[in-house]
């Protein structure tokens, strides 16, 4: 199985090959967060709306954070919203029971904490440092 692993220090993903075949939630999360979703029609801060025309609901709008001020308090709320939106398909397709996200911005970096509640009720937590601003 091919698996993605995120390096918070260097802020990039690396592919690895592991034995066996099973659903890897973290790879699902990383692909969803690392793929640009199409901006909403009301987005006017850039002319490029990004995303893939074949599936405008794929990916995240975290790329839009580059155009949002980090000083108005809405930055973390937008990040949380973008993460939840990107991962909602995991809930819709019953891969997991729920997804929650919280973010904090300090020292020029955004830390995103994600809690996934699996269908059996167990929880798994993931934390990623995102390039901010």
Question: What's the pLDDT score for residue 15?
Answer: 67
Return d(Cα 75, Cα 31) in angstroms, integer: 22
Architecture of domain 2-131: Roll (3.10)
Question: What's the pLDDT score for residue 116?
Answer: 97
Q: Where are the domains of the chain?
A: 2-131
pTM for this predicted structure: 0.83
Q: Per-residue pLDDT for the chain (133 aa), expressed as one digit of tens each?
A: 667 777 777 776 776 676 766 668 998 999 899 899 999 989 888 888 898 878 888 999 999 998 888 887 789 999 999 999 999 999 999 999 999 999 999 888 899 999 999 999 999 999 999 876 5
Distance between first and last Cα of the chain: 34
């Amino acid at each position: 199985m091919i698996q993605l692993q995120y390096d918070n220090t260097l802020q990039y993903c690396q592919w690895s090959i592991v034995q066996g075949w099973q659903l890897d939630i973290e790879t699902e999360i990383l692909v969803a967060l690392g793929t640009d979703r199409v901006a909403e029609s009301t987005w006017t801060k850039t002319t490029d709306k990004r995303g893939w025309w074949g599936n405008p609901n794929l990916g995240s709008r975290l790329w839009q954070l580059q155009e949002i001020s980090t000083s108005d308090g809405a930055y973390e709320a937008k990040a949380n919203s973008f993460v939840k939106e990107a991962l909602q398909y995991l809930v819709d397709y019953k891969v997991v029971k729920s997804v929650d996200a919280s973010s904090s911005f300090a020292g020029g970096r955004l830390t995103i904490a994600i809690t996934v509640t699996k269908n059996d009720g167990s929880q798994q937590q993931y934390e990623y440092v995102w390039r901010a601003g």
